[in-house]
């Protein structure tokens, strides 16, 4: 009789162990997805801050240039490029769904808004799908960030004598 109870308890313990291990594997995916989500939101905020700094520099310089100054055209072009960069960053952010349970604190100037509809959509996804989505967001933000970095580098090269 004791052997039968021991076998049942052993089998039950094995089932619980296997269930717990499977849960940890899925949990690791969510931990990784959450970490990626936080990284991309931090990167977004960082890119946004750099754009704000560049915008302020260009606005300040434009305020000092006369209407017929030959540099005015270049600085007006820089402002248009900065505005296009803001739009590019905003279009990326529009596609990002909030991560369930995310506690990210955004830069107060950042235009990030939480979309409850997108958050509900993510709640219906598997852990692997959420992880894959976060990786896709990261890849796209890296592309956007590279374009903006190229703009900033060009602007810095043009204005290097002024700094």
What does each of the 163 residues of the chain score in pLDDT, given as a tens digit?
Answer: 566 655 565 555 544 544 554 444 558 999 999 999 999 999 999 999 999 999 999 999 999 999 999 999 999 999 999 999 999 999 999 989 877 766 655 554 555 555 555 555 677 889 999 999 999 999 999 999 999 999 999 998 888 766 5
CA distance 52 to 76: 16
DSSP letters, 9-70, are: HHHHHHHHHHHHHHHHHHHHHHHHHHHHHHHHHHHHHHHHHHHHHHHHHHHHHHHHS-TT-H
pLDDT at 9: 55
pLDDT at 104: 54
pLDDT at 24: 45
Among 96, 95, 89, smallest CA distance to 110 is for 89
pLDDT at 151: 93
pLDDT at 48: 97
pLDDT at 17: 46
pLDDT at 54: 95
pLDDT at 122: 75
Kindly list the domain boundaries of the chain, sorted by start residue.
Answer: 27-162
pLDDT at 97: 85
């Amino acid at each position: 009789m004791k052997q039968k109870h021991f076998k049942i308890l052993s089998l039950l313990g094995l089932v619980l162990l296997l269930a717990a291990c499977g849960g940890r594997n899925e949990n690791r995916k969510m931990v990784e997805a959450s970490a990626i989500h936080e990284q991309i939101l931090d990167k977004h905020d960082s890119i946004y801050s750099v754009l704000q700094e560049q915008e302020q520099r260009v606005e300040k310089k434009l305020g000092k240039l006369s209407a017929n100054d030959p540099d005015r055209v270049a600085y007006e072009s820089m402002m248009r490029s900065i505005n296009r960069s803001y739009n590019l960053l905003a279009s990326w952010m529009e596609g990002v769904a909030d991560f369930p349970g995310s506690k990210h604190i955004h830069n107060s100037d950042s235009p990030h808004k939480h979309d409850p509809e997108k958050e509900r959509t993510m709640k219906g996804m598997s852990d692997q799908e959420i992880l894959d989505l976060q990786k896709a967001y990261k890849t796209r933000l890296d592309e956007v960030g590279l374009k903006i970095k190229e703009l900033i580098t060009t602007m810095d090269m043009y204005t290097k004598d002024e700094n």
